[in-house]
């Protein structure tokens, strides 16, 4: 009963204010969360026996460039294939653009509908054209970004837990994502 009253109170208080955003997430927060999520994902994959390892060196997220409702992600890191007792590292530089999407079931924000803006794969072990490898690595990284959230609500925080209980959506603003009431 208390939960229902709290949800009703929150809905009524936010319902008339379309521009009101009680909670927003900065680019820096998203960058930190993405780095942690990819490290966690990599550990899980390695434990499951995957021969591919992904290490993220840097993630730079730009929200709302040129007033558009997109996120641009610049990533640098390393992908390594662990085969035959040998680790074969490849450095990657990737720039993608996509739409931030809030999944209310998962209580998480993903970057979807990715478009590759720029990519580079470099290796000190190879002195040849790496375009076939570049395409494969970029598809793998893009798939990873679509399945690993850039942010997940922390349900141990009472205010974030409350956001998870009401129909919320996100909107892109320059430098941040804002939680707003979902259109019914």
Higher per-residue confidence, 177 vs 3: 177
Give the count of alpha carbons within 13 A of 135, CB side only: 3
Give the pLDDT confidence score for residue 133 in this predicted structure: 62
Angstrom distance (rounded) from CA 98 to CA 82: 30
Per-residue model confidence as pLDDT tens digits over 66-82: 999 999 999 898 888 77
Cα 35 to Cα 3, 62, 69, 130, 167, distances in angstroms: 34, 15, 22, 26, 27
Confidence of residue 134 (pLDDT cuts 50, 70, 90): low
Residue 20 phi, psi dihedral angles, 5° rounding: -75, 130
CATH of span 2-174: 3.15.10.40
Tell me the mean pLDDT in the region 55-63. 89
Residue 35 phi, psi dihedral angles, 5° rounding: -60, -45
Which of 64-78, 100-114, 126-140 shows the lowest mean pLDDT across its residues? 126-140
Which of 5-9, 52-56, 149-153 shows the lowest mean pLDDT across its residues? 5-9
Percent of the residues in the chain that have a pLDDT greater than 90, as a whole number: 21
Domain spans of the chain, in order of start: 2-174
Print burial letters for 144-155: b (CB count within 10 Å at least 16), e (below 16).
bbeebbbbbbee
Q: Considering Cα of 23, then 68, then 101, then 32, what sign does the dihedral take?
A: negative
């Amino acid at each position: 009963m208390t939960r229902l009253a709290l949800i009703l109170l929150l809905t009524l208080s936010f319902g008339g204010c379309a521009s009101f955003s009680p909670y927003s997430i900065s680019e820096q927060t998203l960058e930190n969360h993405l780095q942690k999520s990819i490290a966690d994902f990599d550990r899980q994959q390695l434990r499951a026996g995957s021969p591919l390892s992904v290490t993220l060196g840097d993630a730079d997220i730009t929200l709302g460039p040129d007033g558009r409702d997109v996120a641009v992600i610049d990533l640098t890191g390393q992908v390594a294939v662990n085969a035959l007792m040998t680790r074969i590292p490849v450095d990657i530089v990737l720039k993608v653009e996509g739409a931030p999407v809030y999944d209310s079931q998962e209580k998480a924000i993903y970057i979807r509908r990715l478009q590759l803006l720029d990519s580079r794969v470099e290796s000190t072990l190879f002195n040849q054209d790496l375009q076939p490898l570049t395409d494969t690595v970029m598809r793998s990284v893009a798939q990873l970004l679509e399945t690993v959230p850039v942010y997940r609500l922390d349900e141990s925080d009472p205010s974030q837990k409350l956001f998870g209980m009401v129909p919320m959506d996100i909107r892109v603003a320059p430098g941040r994502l804002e939680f707003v009431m979902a259109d019914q």
